[in-house]
Amino acid sequence: MEFRKDCIIPLNDMKDVITIIFVIIDDLYNETVVEAVKNRLHKDKAIMSDSEIITIAVIGEIMSIDSENAWLRYVRKNMRDLFPNMCDRSRFNRIRRKLLDVTVQIRQRLGTKLDFTEDSYRIADSFPLEVCGFGRAKFCKSFRDEGADYGHCASKKQTYFGFKVHQLCTLNGYVTDFTVTPASKDDREAVWELTESYDRNIKLLGDKGFIGDDFARDLLNENNVLMIALKRNNAKNPDPKPFRQLIFKLRRRIETSISQLVDQLNIERVRAKSLWGLLTRLQSKILAFNLCFAINWLIGKSDDIACVKSILF
């Protein structure tokens, strides 16, 4: 599949958007899926394709509909011409979770199709993912055996129970990598996993949570990653003001991306009951976010590439 900006249909309504997203997902699916998944047991008896299920999940995330029941009812009622053979909710949800690895591969392959992801700069940051209210955390059984623990969010000045989502994005806000860790895990530890797949030198922009001379040296020697992190205000040799202003300006982009994921795609709203289900929702939300970037790029909206909801509303 080759992404060409001169080969895309105009977006006249939501069905055009859904069609484009389905075509992109289906092509990436056929490029990445292994034969064991494509030809798995009873696959020939399925009334819906894997690409249709992933597409429906992604569109629901773009429309910020977190209730799976409500969203599938809407699809059955209003999108019969696009998805004539809808399966029942339990089967849809079961297959969607089983396609978690496929969704990851599609998201990763999508990034290789966009020229702005070839830039050598990445911005690193994280945000909290609270799985239940702090007052109920002591009695919460969900996720407790799957890594959830207590952590502190400095920006919100609160202690919470759950996970932490670490991510890297390009200078325009496209999310290239992310991982989920226990809430107590240090941001610097997650950087090793986020950068291990890169086969070229990259420069990572971080905040005060990524400082440390030993950490920066080891990261450069082992992963070829140059960490550029702001020093603390009380450091002996503080960063020059112009440098700090530049880093603040560049890092504002990932803060905006996280804000969009939280406010527009409800990424902090945890409705899953297992880590598997939670990861499936996170992958769908970030794939939805990135697909909006890709479509804006394809239709030439370079100035508004980060307006993820503009393709629908």
Give the Cα separation of 22 and 166 in Å (integer): 28
pLDDT in tens, 170-207: 999 999 999 999 999 999 999 999 998 888 889 999 98
The model's confidence at residue 53, banded by pLDDT at 50, 70 and 90, is very high
What is the average pLDDT across 107-117?
91
Residue 64 or 234, more confident: 64
Q: State the pTM of this model.
A: 0.92
> How far lies 136's CA from each of 132, 140, 270, in Å?
7, 6, 15
Q: In the prediction, which pLDDT does 311 show?
A: 73
Sequence-ordered list of residues with C-beta below 8 angstroms from that of 274, at least 6 positions apart, any chain: 142, 143, 146
Sequence-ordered list of residues with C-beta below 8 angstroms from that of 79, at least 6 positions apart, any chain: 15, 18
194, 160 contact by CB (below 8 A): no
Residue with tokens 């290239």: 176
Sequence-ordered list of residues with C-beta below 8 angstroms from that of 105, at least 6 positions apart, any chain: 28, 32, 33
Task: Report the range of poorest mean pLDDT among 188-197, 207-216, 233-242, 267-276.
Answer: 233-242
What does the DSSP assignment read for 262-285? HHTS-TT----SSHHHHHHHHHHH
The model's confidence at residue 309, banded by pLDDT at 50, 70 and 90, is confident
Give the Cα separation of 124 and 227 in Å (integer): 10
Q: In the prediction, which pLDDT does 9 show?
A: 57
For the chain, domains (ranges, CATH) are: 1-113+271-313 (no CATH), 119-269 (3.30.420)
Q: In the prediction, which pLDDT does 4 show?
A: 63
